[in-house]
Amino acid sequence: MRKLLFFFVLLTWPCLAQSSWNVDVQLVRLKPGVKLDYVMEPAQWQQQLKEGEVLDQGSTISTEKEAYLFLGRKYPVTFFDPRAGMSQVNYVDVGYKAALSFTPLEGGRVQLDCSLEKKAFFDQKLPLPTVDVFQAHSTLLVKPGQVAIAAVSRGGVGVGYFKELYPGRNFTDKDLFVWAVCARKL
């Protein structure tokens, strides 16, 4: 029994020695014309939120220096597979994926590398629905607890995507959509 306990501690020790992070990602629609800073203190971000609406929010705890989040749904796509001679169902992630990595720097700052991907249906009338993908990559220097704007979409073409993912909402071409990230060391 002691050997088994020792082996368990030996396997889990690297996880216990690493820092843990809590990562919050928000997708927010802001009113047109709102001036944004790309790095803000929490109180400043709360003030910004008064000029908008949180569309989606995700949170995760990472015991490593990376975190992955998915905000959305799995959508079934049915297609005929001629090799199998029958219909097949494939599930497509529709929504937002975020891959975040942290590099602690001297002086208490953190380098936050963000890779954001958004998938939405472009045309569902074709025999196979067309999926449109938007990707953004950013690197920001923040202090733990600060809110960073990882990506911004300004209305226009993107409005169709948001209408697909959030039916019933009244989006306009002038809306401002932002992905805000906040990392806190636990």
Q: What are the percentages of helix, strand and coil residues in the chain, rounded to 5?
A: 20, 55, 25
pTM for the model stands at 0.69
Chain centroid to Cα 30, Å, comes to 17
- pLDDT tens, 95-131? 778 788 878 788 878 888 888 887 776 665 666 666 6
Low-confidence ranges of the chain (pLDDT < 50): 1-17
Going from the C-alpha of 152 to that of each of 33, 48, 53, 129, 134, the distances in angstroms are 13, 14, 15, 26, 11
DSSP H or E stretch at residue 158: helix 158-165
- The pLDDT assigned to 40 comes to 92
- The pLDDT assigned to 123 comes to 60
